């Protein structure tokens, strides 16, 4: 599939996620764009590819971005966002990847004319394998939604929801999900060491098993339950282990409680 060059973008914040997205956009082809980032080291790798400024006040008054991507820390939003209110209007869409910042609150900081899309990516975006769920706010046009889809699609898969409340469980599942997977590798490694395996072998084995299983899941048309059953021989070692993991109140109940707790926290942060 051939993609057209992306239009001018204003990226606010060039941390890990912002930098990953910018890398994806540049690979796609990006019209002259601007990054607002006070830390010079964060944008050093993009020298000559985009214009970088330290503050909103330093942006060329003639610059007209098609999208303003908000990739700063959520706690910085109240102080930082009013400086970008001048871009609010029908020609520009604001794409926020800040966790816990609701569309209504963002419009309160940017002005009621702001067209806002709220999105929740996850950290595999750093290697182009992220999963992002997005929700459009009031007055967002089909063209602006399509542009946001292109911008988010540069770092992985994209899905859309029409109800903003769904972003809270999305945050709990895909936003926090990588941490749960990393914890799985961590506890598998510790358990292997407890059973007498050398630490270096335990770490290599746990990492490779989790990474390889994830790759197999991604490449397979079968659902996770089918793949689990395929590797579980009757009366074998895996069946014995799963009997422990799946008994109440073990892994399934614990994961449900964990996801619920994270969902509630996301709602709290959104106000």
Q: Find the helix or strand (DSSP H, E) in which 36 lies.
A: strand 34-36
Q: Is 1's pLDDT higher than 60?
A: no
How many domains does the chain fold into? Answer: 2
Q: Which tokens sit at 31?
A: 């019209």
Q: Are 104 and 95 in contact (CB under 8 A)?
A: no
Q: Tens of pLDDT along 109-168?
A: 999 999 999 999 999 998 999 999 999 999 999 999 999 999 999 999 999 999 999 999
Do 31 and 143 fall within a single domain?
Answer: yes
Tell me, yes or no, whether 1 lies in a domain. no
* Separation between Cα atoms, residue 52 and residue 71, nearest integer Å: 15
CATH code of the domain containing 226: 1.10.3730.10
Do 49 and 81 fall within a single domain?
Answer: yes
Last residue of a domain, one of 163, 193, 224: 163
Last residue of a domain, one of 163, 194, 217: 163
Average pLDDT over residues 175-192: 96
Do 129 and 256 fall within a single domain?
Answer: no
Tell me, yes or no, whether 220 lies in a domain. yes
Give the three-state DSSP class for 112.
Answer: coil
Domain hosting residue 68, numbered range: 9-163
Tell me, yes or no, whether 3 lies in a domain. no
Do 16 and 127 fall within a single domain?
Answer: yes
Tell me, yes or no, whether 170 lies in a domain. no
Torsion, CA 86, CA 89, CA 94, CA 99, rounded to 10:
80
Confidence (pLDDT) at 57? 96
Other beta carbons less than 10 A from residue 130's beta carbon: 24
With tokens 């419009």, the residue in question is: 107
With tokens 């914890």, the residue in question is: 183
């Amino acid at each position: 599939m051939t993609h057209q060059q992306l239009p001018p973008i204003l990226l606010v914040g060039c941390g890990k996620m912002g930098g990953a997205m910018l890398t994806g956009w540049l690979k796609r082809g990006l019209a002259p764009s601007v990054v607002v980032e006070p830390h010079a080291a964060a944008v050093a790798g993009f020298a000559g590819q985009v214009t970088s400024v330290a503050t909103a006040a330093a942006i060329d008054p003639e610059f007209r971005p098609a999208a303003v991507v908000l990739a700063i820390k959520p706690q910085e939003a109240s102080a930082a966002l009013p400086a970008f209110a001048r871009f609010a209007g029908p020609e520009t869409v604001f794409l926020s990847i800040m966790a816990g910042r609701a569309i209504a609150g963002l419009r309160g900081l940017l002005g009621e004319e702001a067209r806002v899309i709220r999105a929740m990516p996850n950290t595999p975006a750093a290697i182009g394998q992220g999963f992002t769920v997005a929700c459009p706010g009031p007055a967002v046009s089909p063209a602006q939604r399509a542009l946001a889809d292109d911008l988010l699609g540069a770092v992985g898969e994209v899905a859309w929801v029409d109800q903003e409340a769904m972003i809270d469980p999305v945050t709990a599942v895909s936003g926090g999900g990588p941490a749960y997977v990393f914890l799985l590798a961590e506890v598998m490694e510790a358990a292997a060491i407890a059973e007498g395996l050398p630490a270096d072998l335990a770490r290599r084995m746990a990492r490779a098993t989790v990474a390889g299983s994830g790759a197999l899941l991604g490449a397979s048309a079968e659902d996770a339950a089918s793949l689990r059953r395929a590797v579980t021989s009757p009366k074998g070692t895996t069946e014995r282990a799963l009997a422990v993991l799946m008994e109440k109140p073990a892994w399934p109940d614990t994961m449900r409680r964990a996801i619920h707790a994270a969902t509630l926290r996301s709602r709290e942060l959104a106000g």
